[in-house]
A and B are shown apart, each in its own frame.
Chain A
Amino acid sequence: MAANTTAYDKVMAARAKGRPTAADFINNIFVDFTEMHGDRRFGDDSAIISGIALLGNIPVTVIGIEKGHDTKDKIARNFGQAHPEGYRKALRQMKLAEKFGRPIITFVDTPGAYCGIDAESRGQGQAIAENLYEMMTLRTPVISIFIGEGGSGGALALAVADEVWILENAVYSVISPEGCASILWKDSKKVKEATECLKMTAEDLISLGAVERIIEEKGDISLVYKSLLKQLNDALAPYNITQGKEKKLEEMLKKRYKKFRKIGEL
């Protein structure tokens, strides 16, 4: 991307057809990925992929919001908009990760949590709230990577993490620029203006303390996968220990709370 790209260009890039989805990242970074289905309460949400895998030689739990590639796939994945059972499936896997001491890596790419009658009747708000609540004290490292769109509460529900990384052209926002323009100015033409105002690009998010690291998107996508493999390994290696692990996890949890605690602190 050129240096003079606007915030809106980034939104377009984040949503662009052909942009790699969570499944692409999972398949290209990890080995032996084994998918796990269902929330054991209602059903299996195909907008969320979850399972176990190896990162190099570290066992990990991997969760991603999947948008799908072709039309048929996109429809099956509900365009990456999860239902409550999706968030509950993710939480079930996260609890198992905690039990077995596996670090958790999430890939976030969603326009938002699904808003429809069935999602509401099964408690969309409650499902998201529970994830935020439980993730804050999960006794295992959590890294969230924003790879495309980070749409509001539906994205945050998988991003209460020790570290949040974001791809150079991914975005993360409290509301879509379209939603913002139509609510505040009753004018869908003001989308570009809304995008600037919302401060949703990777650079904005770093300066606001909402994310910790920007992942460069230069050249072929395989370079991004390679770089992520290395960065994840480096970040998680210190936890791949037996002696003094409890103390390290204790420190990690304090740091996780403090990180969110200081957002908007006076």
Chain B
Amino acid sequence: MFTKDLFKKPKNELESSSKDKKAPAVCIPEELCISCPSCKKPHFKTDVNESSGICPSCGHYFKIGARARIDIIADKKSFIEHDKKLTSTNIIAFPEYDDKIDKAKKESKESEAVITGVCSISGYACAIFVMEPRFIMGSMGRIVGEKITRLFEFATKKGLPVVGYTVSGGARMQEGILSLLQMAKVSGAVKNHSDAGNLYVTVLTNPTTGGVTASFAMLGDIIIAEPNALIGFAGPRVIEQTMRQKLPQNFQKAEYLLETGFIDGIVDRREQKEYLRKVLKIHGGKV
């Protein structure tokens, strides 16, 4: 601002700082506010939460935690968690992994990168797993594999459909070969569940990549995705760097997968519950 104050020497530090400070008209504590990474506009967190984590201005999908997803999808108070306490240990003594687990627990307030359990969706009973993006990028180690396998085995025994929300950076490399083999383990449990005639629906959210894409994410009888979600085996940066190929627009986005025939549909986050109600009902869902 070009004002006469510019030429005035401040008498003391206090005066100068008080003049420079742009006093905001409304004072909003930061923790109540969130700015959209896409359109940069600030919004009250409560507004964003009310619209299922979608930006009220531009429609951008905020990353949301596993608990928040369960709140959106499951009927109120219907969710019963399984294996809540299972948590990873540094099984092959990989450097810095212990710290990483501790940090992930603090950040996500969860004990692993997936939450499993049973719930009802618009009255229909199902088993559900939801991955947690804040826990080491939703990566799959042996506990993630174990929890999802147990859930499928439980659902097979009870004849329950499984609904699975994926978000993952892939296999967790700090657990070496044991994380890779979870891909086979979970896929086997999915196969047994399927062979017994049960329904499995996956909802792919941003981002779903690597070993999770190459196993249970792509094994649903019905596969839907959230708009604009990144879904792929190799990450786009890896492809660009190693292959020196320029990526086409929309590459690996949900819309691209729909076009190439790898998913059944793209469903708005606010309409997923209704979508799931329909498919559960059509598949003879039990109330």
Contact B234 A120 (CB under 8 A): yes
Known contacts A120-B252, A263-B182: A199-B232 contact under CB 8 Å: no
Interchain pairs with CB closer than 8 A, number:
172
- Complex Cα distance, B219 from A200, in Å, reads 28
The segment from B24-32, B34-42, B123-131, B172-180 found at the interface with A is B172-180
List residues of chain B with CB within 8 A of the CB of A197: 92, 94-95, 176
- Of the residues B146, B182, B214, B245, contact of A125 by C-beta under 8 Å: B214
Known contacts A129-B214, A132-B215, A260-B188: A124-B233 contact under CB 8 Å: yes
User: Which chain B residues in 191-215 approach chain A with CB under 8 Å?
Assistant: 191-192, 195, 210-211, 213-215
List residues of chain A with CB within 8 A of the CB of B243: 115-117
- Complex Cα distance, B218 from A134, in Å, reads 13
List residues of chain B with CB within 8 A of the CB of A172: 177
- Complex Cα distance, B215 from A174, in Å, reads 14
Contact B183 A132 (CB under 8 A): yes
Tell whether A210 is near chain B: CB-to-CB under 8 Å: yes
Contact B92 A266 (CB under 8 A): no
Known contacts A126-B262, A208-B177, A266-B146: A136-B247 contact under CB 8 Å: no
B100 and chain A: residue at smallest CB distance: A184
Tell whether B66 is near chain A: CB-to-CB under 8 Å: no
Tell whether A233 is near chain B: CB-to-CB under 8 Å: no
Tell whether B187 is near chain A: CB-to-CB under 8 Å: yes
Contact A180 B173 (CB under 8 A): yes
CB distance from B168 to the nearest CB of A (A): 11
List residues of chain B with CB within 8 A of the CB of A210: 177-178, 181
B187 and chain A: residue at smallest CB distance: A132
Known contacts A116-B239, A257-B192: A264-B182 contact under CB 8 Å: yes
Contact A120 B219 (CB under 8 A): no
- Complex Cα distance, B262 from A173, in Å, reads 28
- Complex Cα distance, B145 from A174, in Å, reads 14
Interface size on B, as a range, is 35 or more
Tell whether A242 is near chain B: CB-to-CB under 8 Å: no
- Of the residues A153, A175, A198, A257, contact of B233 by C-beta under 8 Å: A153
Contact B185 A124 (CB under 8 A): no
A180 and chain B: residue at smallest CB distance: B173
CB distance from B34 to the nearest CB of A (A): 29
List residues of chain B with CB within 8 A of the CB of A124: 214, 232-234
List residues of chain A with CB within 8 A of the CB of B1: none
- Complex Cα distance, B177 from A200, in Å, reads 7
Tell whether A128 is near chain B: CB-to-CB under 8 Å: yes
List residues of chain B with CB within 8 A of the CB of A265: 146
- Complex Cα distance, B187 from A104, in Å, reads 20
7 contacts between A and B (CB under 8 A): A116-B234, A129-B183, A133-B188, A153-B210, A174-B175, A266-B86, A266-B146
Given A135-B184, A260-B181, 20 further pairs, Cβ under 8 A? A115-B233, A116-B234, A120-B232, A120-B251, A121-B256, A125-B231, A126-B262, A128-B215, A129-B215, A132-B215, A133-B219, A136-B191, A137-B188, A153-B180, A156-B180, A174-B179, A199-B176, A210-B181, A260-B184, A261-B189
